A and B are shown apart, each in its own frame.
Chain A
Amino acid sequence: MRRRSGGGVIFLSLLVALILSALPLPEVAQGWRPEWVVLVLLYWIVALPERIGMGVAWLMGIMLDVLEGSLLGLNALALTVVAYFSLLLYRRVRMFSWLQQALFVFALVALNQILCHWVKGILGSSTQTLMFLLPAIISALLWPWVFVLLRGVRRSFNVN
C-alpha cells in the first residue's frame, strides 16, 4: 500500500470548486455555470479511487446544498450516483482519448443535472426548458483544462 499524502491539496481543490460554484455571476451567465464540483470530484475519483469515493461526494453534495439553499440531500444524492458511476468506470476513463473523456464528463454532468431536476420536479418546482443541460456542455468543454491543471497540481505536490 502506498503512503498517502497531500490530503490538504485535495481538500483545497474541492474547496475552490465550492467557492467557484457560489461565485456571483451576471444574470446572463447564470445558466452557463459549469458544475465545478462534479469536475473536480471526477478528477480525484479517476486519479485516486481508493481515497476519494462516494462518501466524499456525499459530503460535497451536502455542502453544495447548503450553499445553494436547495433541499438538503438533493445534490448529495446526485453526486453520490455520479461518484458511483465514475468508480465503476475509472479504469476505462484513464484509457479514454480526450474526446471520449469529454463525452464521459458530459454524460455524468447531464446525469447530475437530470437527477437534481427530477427531484425538484417531484417536490414541485421545475421548468419546462432543457436549459438545465447547458452546464453539461460547458463542463465537457472545460474538462481537458481542469484535467491538465489538476494533474499538474497532483504531480507537483506529489499527491497519491
Chain B
Amino acid sequence: MQLLVLSILSVLLLFADYRFQQMAQVRSVLGSMTAPIQFVADVPSKVWRWVDRMSTDYEQLHKENRELKAQAIILQREVQKMASLSAEYIRLRELLNGSELIDETVMVAEVIGVDPDPFTHELLINKGYRDRVRVGQTLLDAYGVMGQVISTDRFSSRVLLLSDARHAIPVQVNRNGLRSIAAGKGRFDELELLNLHDTEDVVVGDLLVSSGLGGRFPFGYPVAVVTKVEHDPGEPFAEVLARPSAQLARSRQVMLVLSPQPETQQAADAEETD
C-alpha cells in the first residue's frame, strides 16, 4: 500500500518536474536546504588544496612568479592592441548602425561541485540568484565557453556543460564564418558539428567561436578546435569532431557573463521572487 502511494507520488513529481516550469521554484527552495551538504562535501578538496598550497616551497613559488610575470607582459601587449582595435571596431559598427556591445561584464565564480552521475555533465558553482545569476547565463573559463546556467538557488547554481549529450551551442568557424551547431556527446573531450555538408570548407585545426545566434551565448568566445573531418560518401553530412577549448573537467576558477542577454521567461520569474 505504502509502496503504491509513494511510487505514484514519485511518478507525479517526475511528471510535474518534467513538464512544468513552476517546479523550478520548489527545486530552488529544496536546493537551498541541501546547500550545507554540498558545502561539507566540498571540504575535503578544499583541505587538499590548502595543504597543497602550504607545501609548495619557495623555489617553486619563485619560478611560478617569474613565469606569471612574463605571461602578464605578453597579455598586456595584446591588450594594448585590443584598445585600438576595439575602438576601431566600435567606429566601424557605428558606421553600419550596429549596436553590438564588444565587451561583457563578468563575475568570477568557483566550482564547488560536480554532478555525481557520470552520464550527465553538470557543475555546481558558488554563486546563486542572490548574486544576480540567472538561468541562461554563459559560463566561461580562461580558455573558452564552458556551458550555461540551467537552474539557480539562493547560494549556488547548476551549469550544463557543452559536452553534455543534451547540450548544443551555435558556433561559427572563425576563419570563414561558416555556421554550425556543436552538440555534446557525453564526453569531456569531444563535440560534434551537426549538419555540415561534405562540400563545406572546414579543416582540422579550425577554431570554432560562439556565433551569438539564438540569443543565448554571447558572440565571439572560443568554443572548440576541430580535430577530425571525415567524408563518408554514404552519408549526407560530413562527420566533424572538435575538442572543447575550455578545460571542462579541470577548471575551478570560472567566469559568468553578466551582460544583458535577451531574458528568458524563467529569468524574469526568478527576478520576481527576489
**Distance between A150 CB and nearest chain B CB, rounded to angstroms:** 20
Q: Which of B38, B45, B118 contacts A30 (CB 8 A)?
A: B118
Q: Which of B11, B23, B38, B188 contacts A67 (CB 8 A)?
A: B38
Q: Which of A62, A69, A71, A80 contacts B18 (CB 8 A)?
A: A71
Chain A, interface residues (CB within 8 Å), range: 35 or more
Contact between A127 and B30, CB atoms less than 8 A apart = no
Is A66 part of the binding interface, using a Cβ–Cβ cutoff of 8 Å? yes
* Among listed A19-27, A43-51, A92-100, interface-contacting one: A19-27
Contact between B120 and A125, CB atoms less than 8 A apart = yes
Task: Assess A27 versus B188: contact at CB under 8 Å? Given A61-B10, A72-B23, A77-B11.
Answer: yes
Q: List 20 A-B contacts (CB under 8 A).
A: A19-B41, A24-B41, A25-B116, A27-B188, A31-B118, A54-B3, A55-B6, A58-B10, A66-B31, A66-B34, A69-B122, A70-B120, A72-B27, A73-B10, A73-B13, A77-B7, A77-B11, A81-B3, A123-B14, A127-B165
Contact between B40 and A19, CB atoms less than 8 A apart = yes
> How far is it, in angstroms, between the C-alpha of A15 and the C-alpha of B7 when the chains are bound?
23
Interface majority SS on A: helix, strand, loop or mixed?
helix
Contact between A67 and B3, CB atoms less than 8 A apart = no
1/0 contact string of B124-135 vs chain A (CB within 8 Å): 100000000000
Contact between B27 and A76, CB atoms less than 8 A apart = no
Q: Which residues of A from 1 to 56 have beta carbons under 8 Å from B?
A: 15, 18-25, 27, 30-31, 33, 53-55
> How far is it, in angstroms, between the C-alpha of A59 and the C-alpha of B15 when the chains are bound?
18
Is A132 part of the binding interface, using a Cβ–Cβ cutoff of 8 Å? yes
User: Which residues of A are in contact with B by a Cβ distance under 8 Å?
Assistant: 15, 18-25, 27, 30-31, 33, 53-55, 58, 61-63, 66-74, 76-77, 80-81, 84, 119-120, 123-127, 131-132
Number of interface residues of B (CB under 8 A): 44
Is B47 part of the binding interface, using a Cβ–Cβ cutoff of 8 Å? no
Is B107 part of the binding interface, using a Cβ–Cβ cutoff of 8 Å? no
Is B213 part of the binding interface, using a Cβ–Cβ cutoff of 8 Å? no
Task: Look across to chain B and name the residue whose beta carbon is closest to the beta carbon of A24.
Answer: B114
**Distance between A122 CB and nearest chain B CB, rounded to angstroms:** 9
Q: Which B residues touch A69, using CB under 8 A?
A: 115, 120, 122, 124, 151, 158
Contact between B42 and A24, CB atoms less than 8 A apart = yes
Q: Which B residues touch A19, using CB under 8 A?
A: 37, 40-41
Is B17 part of the binding interface, using a Cβ–Cβ cutoff of 8 Å? yes
Between A19, A25, A126, the greatest number of chain B beta carbons within 10 A of the residue's beta carbon is seen for A19
> How far is it, in angstroms, between the C-alpha of A132 and the C-alpha of B124 when the chains are bound?
22
Task: Assess A22 versus B113: contact at CB under 8 Å? Given A30-B118, A71-B17, A72-B17.
Answer: yes
Contact between A76 and B10, CB atoms less than 8 A apart = yes
Q: Which A residues touch B117, using CB under 8 A?
A: 68, 70
Q: Which A residues touch B93, using CB under 8 A?
A: none
Q: Which A residues touch B6, using CB under 8 A?
A: 54-55, 58, 76, 80
Q: Which B residues touch A54, using CB under 8 A?
A: 2-3, 6
Task: Assess A15 versus B115: contact at CB under 8 Å? Given A119-B14, A125-B166.
Answer: no
Q: Which of A66, A119, A124 contacts B30 (CB 8 A)?
A: A66
Q: Which A residues touch B122, using CB under 8 A?
A: 69
Is B268 part of the binding interface, using a Cβ–Cβ cutoff of 8 Å? no
Is B119 part of the binding interface, using a Cβ–Cβ cutoff of 8 Å? yes
Q: Which B residues touch A76, using CB under 8 A?
A: 6, 9-10, 13
Between A18, A31, A55, A73, the greatest number of chain B beta carbons within 10 A of the residue's beta carbon is seen for A73
Q: Which B residues touch A73, using CB under 8 A?
A: 9-14, 17
Task: Look across to chain A and name the residue whose beta carbon is closest to the beta carbon of B8.
Answer: A77
